[in-house]
Structure 1
Amino acid sequence: MTWEVLSIIGTIAFAVSGAIVAMEEEYDILGVYILGIVTAFGGGAIRNLLIGVPVSALWEQEMLFQIAILSMTAVFLFPNNLLRHWKRWGNFFDAIGLSAFAIQGALFAAEMELPLSAAIVAAVLTGSGGGIIRDLLAGRKPAVLKEEIYAVWAIIAGMAVGLRIANSPLELYALFFIITLLRVCSYTYNWNLPIKSLHVHKQNHSL
């Protein structure tokens, strides 16, 4: 039951973030729903294709689809009221979604007895794949690959599950708490991965 609640929180956070990006890009209402759905479920759909889970399993999440649609509708109808709260709590809910989805994605691979690499890929795709697709559809550089430490936490979750470090329910909940805390710390304190820019070399070459 707890995992279901976490999945609902993550679905709402991802769907709302997709809807907000669509509205920032001035997409119409269809674009708002498409970007929201893609953000919430796109990563899981690609994960299913890669690790051999039937794609039809996606349609078994009817309740989550309904919750996502209601969330996006609320954002579209009452953007000003909800955005005030989103700016305060959005990143935290997103951290919960990242952690819960990454662990669940890794568990899919582990239950199928796939290797560690599959668990990591499944975790990353489930936790951050939807956000990458959202940004690409919106014509943006994927934020998870550029601005903040995000996918790294999904990789850690995938490794912990794939190596059986987190196996029991208690261990999985502890992993969830750790990944959520790391994500919160990374955006609170502006943690970033090293960046190597080639802009200077291009300018010198042009001169």
Structure 2
Amino acid sequence: MDKMAYLQQIAGDGNNANHKTGGGNNFLSKIFNVVTLAIVGVAILLIIGASALTKEFNKVDTRDRDLMEQSYWQAEYLSKQTFQKYANEVKNSDLRNLTASLKSTLNEILGSGKKLLESEYKVKLSGSEKTGIAATEKTTNEKLNAKLEDGRLSGTLDRVFLREITLQIAYLRAYNSGVVERTKNVKVQQFAKKITENLENIYQQFHDFKSPTI
């Protein structure tokens, strides 16, 4: 083999080697792209999942707060509107005594419950009477008072009072038991659990109340 042929053979071998190396690089590049896409896809799924969990947590937390606020405003209107006007109009002394025990629980909601709403949920209760949950509960209370007024005028206040207040206690109990189920706040949960237990006891007394005068 002459020198020229030898040089051409070397050049040919070099080109073949470069071609093989280039093919290997292309293969590795494809693998890298696939892995990169997989990592990006997993990252996107994780972000979406985290976002969904955050939204769900916030939704539960908001419902928790709303139930606490519903309980507060119902207690507020029962205590300062309904009972101030109609509790002393009830003729049956045993029913009045039951109402007094309910007032005690309502006062606890208006005291400790209010503090928890303000400290744990940053709810500003003062000045919000005409909006949101407060306004809804006020409307509900006005309807209740209208029924009691009809009972007073017809001479059946004790019967209507017993029926309607039993229902109101059931609502209050449901609000607070809902808080117990949903909240992650230990202070709020302990408070709502205590109120729920008190209301359960009072509800049973109202529900089972019997008197020949009613």
Range class of TM-score, shorter chain: 0.3 to 0.5
Greater RCO structure (CA 8 Å; 6+ sep) = 2
Q: TM-score, normalised by structure 1?
A: 0.38
Q: TM-score, normalised by structure 2?
A: 0.37
Query: Which structure has the larger Rg?
Result: 2
